[in-house]
Chain A
Amino acid sequence: MAQITYIEHDGTEHMLEVEVGYSVMQAALDNMLQGIVAECGGACSCATCHCYIDEAWLYKLGKPDVIETEMMEFAVGARDTSRLSCQLQVTEELDGLIVHLPESQY
């Protein structure tokens, strides 16, 4: 289990206990969080699971692969700290991760 904090654009915080092996996107969807749409269901094909990673955590996640990088071009409001949450697999090391959700995925 890892504890992940999702912060919506208006500051609302959700702290979830997420099973190792789940994606950051799947946990958000299973808990019906607003802010992650995930239209493609994690196929790295829609960019509607876009999130911003808290700077302190960015280096721990490693670099996105070519498919995620390619898809990020379609994310609305992408920045240097952007990732697609369906591609972020939860590990014990990510206990305490903080992700910020954009105002809109479209």
Chain B
Amino acid sequence: MVESTGGNSIAIDELPVIDVNAAYAPEADFNAIVMAAHENGPFAQSSRGFEVLGYKECMALMRDPRLHSDHMSLVNAMGFPEGPAMEFKKAMLLSHGRDEYRTKIRQALTRAVGASVIEKQRPMIRTLVGDILNDLSQASESDLLHKFAFGVPSSLFCLWFGAPLEDAPWIAGLSDRILKIFSFDRQYTPGIISAYDELFPYVQKRIDDALESPKDNLLAHFIAENKAGHLTDTELFHIVAMFNEASTDNTAHGIATAIGELLGNRQRWQQLIDQPELIPAAINENMRLSGRINTLIRYASQDIEYGGVEIPEGTGISFFIPAAHRDPRVFSLPLEYDPTRTDAHNLLDFGGGVYTCLGKHVAMIEIQEALAELISNYPNAQVTNFDISSNPFVNEVAELKVDLVGAST
């Protein structure tokens, strides 16, 4: 048990060991491994280094100014060659630490998609979701993963940036290829680079078209910020490119997971049919137990002592999010799904502090509206095939097939 005794701190290699890879082995009992680890305290060591399992400790360390994110080390580990993709990575938001650029870009994004402004787009998003659902075939096995879960955020991208809606599947494909960077697996690097090679001219075309014939959309908002001197031309370009990778893939998996897990469980689904006002809480609770992100990594910018542990400068700090979401010190009956729980806390799936996801609100609106439309149009739908593949970094929905008309026929 690690205690904060002040002065008597211990080294990381003295911490209890957790085998994170074993927790993700096909036959492993993930919950049992994680709950056993919690009994040894909020910290552990693994082959990855320092693991933070405690919810409160994740919350605090994600916001600790002595830690930083380091996207470029991932880019370098993936072996990006010199070229436009590398230049983009070096310049864009993700690669900036706590600097003025970060604050400037994040404030510009908040003016564009912050909680209050984005709430106004809920009716538009609801219509979009409804249209996509209407277009789905009611064949016995609808592919809701590609047609619906990926369709919603990629179509929203098209509306936001003035692209034809027919481009949505291609947009989704690009985002999917680009986000393979988080696999930490170099076999995906050529696919990532070629996706950027396709994305960059496409982004430029969107901006050129918008300058020539302006529409009332998100791109117009960013162009206005550019004209007012709040964003440079390059920053404008990078923001549009970044929205492709940031807004599509994670949201699609969020939609598919919510449908797979909630529709896949008759009791949970019936509760939402009876009490649709529980939809937002049910999505949060499901995300707590079955989220997209398994590990977020930060690095110590200096020598740190935290919670009785010495963390030397440069140490990689892995926030083991599904463990933190099951922390028995914070969540009562942590393994139970309970959308009415009163100890609901901020989810860690969107990160924290100066790096927090800026799309959290729009992502949540998309997931909520997707579920609400499905419940009101197809209450009797049935999941026929749902498969999630998991690794220590992310969970990916591999398949989601649904019989939309379901039991009523």
Taking beta carbons and an 8 Å cutoff, which residues of A are in contact with B?
21-23, 25-26, 29-30, 37-48, 66-67, 70-71, 74, 86, 89, 106
Interface CB pairs A-B, < 8 A, 8: A39-B106, A39-B356, A40-B354, A41-B115, A45-B356, A46-B354, A66-B342, A67-B344
Distance (whole angstroms) from the CB of B121 to the closest CB of chain A: 12
Q: Are A43 and B361 in contact (CB under 8 A)?
A: yes
Contact A44-B346, Cβ < 8 Å, known A26-B116, A39-B354, A86-B115: yes
Contact A29-B346, Cβ < 8 Å, known A40-B353, A43-B361: no
DSSP class of A's interface residues: helix, strand, loop or mixed? loop
**Complex: chain A residue closest to B358, CB-CB:** A41
Q: Mark B236-275, 1 if CB is under 8 A from A, else 0.
A: 0000000000000000000000000000000000000000
Q: Are A29 and B63 in contact (CB under 8 A)?
A: no
Contact A41-B356, Cβ < 8 Å, known A21-B116, A26-B115, A30-B111: yes
Q: Are B346 and A45 in contact (CB under 8 A)?
A: yes
Q: Are B63 and A47 in contact (CB under 8 A)?
A: yes
Q: Are A66 and B116 in contact (CB under 8 A)?
A: no
Contact A41-B109, Cβ < 8 Å, known A26-B114, A26-B117: yes
Taking beta carbons and an 8 Å cutoff, which residues of B are in contact with A?
59-60, 63, 65, 103, 106-107, 109-111, 113-117, 119-120, 342-346, 350-354, 356-358, 360-361
Q: Are A43 and B119 in contact (CB under 8 A)?
A: no
Q: Are B110 and A42 in contact (CB under 8 A)?
A: yes
Q: Are A40 and B107 in contact (CB under 8 A)?
A: no
Distance (whole angstroms) from the CB of A65 to the closest CB of chain B: 9
Q: How far is it, in angstroms, between the C-alpha of A25 and the C-alpha of B110 when the chains are bound?
A: 10
**Complex: chain B residue closest to A22, CB-CB:** B116
Number of A-B contacts (CB under 8 A): 87
Q: How far is it, in angstroms, between the C-alpha of A71 and the C-alpha of B63 when the chains are bound?
A: 10
Excluding A22-B116, A42-B116, 4 further A-B contacts by CB distance (< 8 Å) are A41-B106, A42-B114, A43-B357, A66-B344
Q: Are B352 and A26 in contact (CB under 8 A)?
A: no
**Complex: chain A residue closest to B56, CB-CB:** A70
Which residues of chain A have C-beta atoms less than 8 A from B59's C-beta?
A: 70
Q: Are A41 and B103 in contact (CB under 8 A)?
A: no
Distance (whole angstroms) from the CB of B165 to the closest CB of chain A: 27
Q: How far is it, in angstroms, between the C-alpha of A89 and the C-alpha of B59 when the chains are bound?
A: 24
In this complex, which of A44, A45, A46, A71 has the most chain B Cβ atoms within 10 angstroms of its Cβ? A45
Which residues of chain B have C-beta atoms less than 8 A from A29's C-beta?
A: 107, 110-111, 114
Distance (whole angstroms) from the CB of A50 to the closest CB of chain B: 13
Q: How far is it, in angstroms, between the C-alpha of A25 and the C-alpha of B350 when the chains are bound?
A: 20
Q: How far is it, in angstroms, between the C-alpha of A39 and the C-alpha of B93 when the chains are bound?
A: 13
Which residues of chain B have C-beta atoms less than 8 A from A22's C-beta?
A: 116-117
**Complex: chain A residue closest to B344, CB-CB:** A66
Q: Are A41 and B63 in contact (CB under 8 A)?
A: no
**Complex: chain B residue closest to A24, CB-CB:** B116
